[in-house]
């Protein structure tokens, strides 16, 4: 859901040391800012500190964002903090990639249309033409870019061109059933989210839920993660799981799994756009809401 226009996210991370929380909260207090939500994590294993603050500037005067940044920079520099300030009302551009399965795309488009996800979707990219009408109904440009072993490099160059042209802040692979090249993975590091069922690595390939049924699985779920060059093994943002039993036939397992995929992917996108996710040392720190 869209945040109030006067809300900001301040995120920072640095080596853990005395005074890291104080320097953030003290500066916000001095600026007359009201803290709506604050979460911190001190990783004792890596010695690294993370903080996310959602705040409202004083309502008596217009917020001077440039002045806030200028005043905050020397405070953050004392701790060598890497930081980001983002207005919550800014709607990031999200390019969606999809193949033939439409459940995750449908769910994201519904949440976009109803305002549950405060994003803009400037493009949908697919290696199949099947979902053209769905994109057209939402008045979103649809790019059909077939891919094969022979044209993969050219196709990915087109994909990256569209992403750049759209000035995409995030790319979502909503069941895009193609393995991305190392080059494209590198270009999208930290800004592309994938979703897959959590039956991996046991049930790879086609009809995973049928394979799971044959083995009598008792849990089905989904994993949303940032992409990297290790197939389906990128830094995890969020996961969902549900208990099943012997009475669930393959079709029911598939339906349950797809529901969880939709919810898990939407949650990961929400966490990303609300600046709740930190990437550090190949894994994530996620401040859930």
Catalytic member of 102, 169, 232, 259: 232
Condensed to tens digits (0 to 9), the pLDDT of residues 185-229 reads 999 999 999 999 876 556 766 788 888 888 888 888 899 999 998
Condensed to tens digits (0 to 9), the pLDDT of residues 83-98 reads 999 999 999 999 999 9
Condensed to tens digits (0 to 9), the pLDDT of residues 145-165 reads 999 999 999 999 999 999 999
- Tell me, yes or no, whether 157 and 14 share the same domain: no
- Tell me, yes or no, whether 272 and 169 share the same domain: yes
Inter-residue contact 244 to 213 (CB < 8 Å)? no
- Tell me, yes or no, whether 126 and 39 share the same domain: no
- Tell me, yes or no, whether 59 and 154 share the same domain: no
- Tell me, yes or no, whether 48 and 182 share the same domain: no
232 assigned to active site: yes
Q: Is the dihedral of CA 196, 202, 205, 208 positive or negative?
A: negative
Last residue of a domain, one of 52, 87, 122: 87
**Per-residue CA distances from 259 to 48, 91, 106, 221, 274 (Å):** 36, 26, 11, 9, 23
- Tell me, yes or no, whether 273 and 205 share the same domain: yes
Q: What is the 3-state secondary structure (H, E, C) of 197-239?
A: ECCCCCCCCCCHHHHHHHHCCCEEEEEEEECCCCCCCCCEEEE
> Would residue 2 count as lying in a domain?
no
- Tell me, yes or no, whether 80 and 135 share the same domain: no
- Tell me, yes or no, whether 127 and 230 share the same domain: yes
Q: Please report which confidence band the pLDDT of residue 59 belongs to, taking 50, 70 and 90 as the band edges.
A: confident
> Would residue 23 count as lying in a domain?
yes
> Would residue 48 count as lying in a domain?
yes
> Would residue 220 count as lying in a domain?
yes
- Structural domains in the chain (count): 2
Domain limits for position 26: 8-87
- Tell me, yes or no, whether 143 and 52 share the same domain: no
Last residue of a domain, one of 53, 87, 121: 87
Is the pLDDT at 230 greater than 90? The verdict is no
Return the higher-pLDDT residue of 231 and 18: 18
């Amino acid at each position: 859901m869209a945040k109030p226009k006067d809300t900001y996210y301040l995120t920072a991370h640095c080596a853990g040391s005395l005074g890291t929380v104080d320097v953030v909260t003290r500066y916000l207090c001095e600026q007359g800012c009201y803290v709506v939500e604050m979460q911190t994590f001190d990783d004792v294993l890596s010695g690294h500190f993370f903080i996310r603050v959602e705040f409202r500037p004083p309502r008596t005067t217009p917020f001077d964002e440039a002045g806030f940044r200028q005043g905050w920079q020397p405070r953050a520099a004392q701790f060598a903090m890497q930081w980001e300030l983002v207005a919550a009302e800014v709607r990031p551009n999200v390019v969606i990639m999809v193949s033939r399965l439409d459940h995750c795309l449908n769910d994201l488009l519904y949440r976009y249309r109803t305002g549950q996800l405060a994003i803009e979707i400037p493009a949908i990219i697919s290696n199949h033409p099947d979902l053209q009408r769905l994109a057209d109904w939402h008045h979103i440009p649809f790019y059909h870019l077939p891919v094969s072993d022979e044209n993969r490099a050219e196709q990915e160059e087109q994909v990256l061109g569209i992403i750049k042209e759209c000035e995409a802040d995030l790319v979502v692979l909503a069941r895009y059933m193609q393995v991305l090249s190392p080059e494209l993975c590198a270009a999208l590091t930290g800004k592309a989210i994938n979703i897959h069922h959590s039956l991996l690595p046991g049930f790879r390939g086609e009809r995973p839920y049928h394979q799971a049924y044959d083995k009598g699985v008792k849990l089905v779920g989904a994993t949303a993660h940032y992409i990297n060059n290790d197939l389906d093994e990128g830094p995890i943002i969020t996961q969902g799981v549900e208990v099943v039993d012997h009475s669930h036939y393959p079709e029911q397992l598939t339906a349950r799994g797809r529901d969880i995929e939709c919810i898990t992917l939407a949650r990961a996108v929400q966490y990303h756009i609300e600046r709740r996710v930190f990437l550090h040392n190949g894994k994530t720190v996620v401040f859930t809401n």
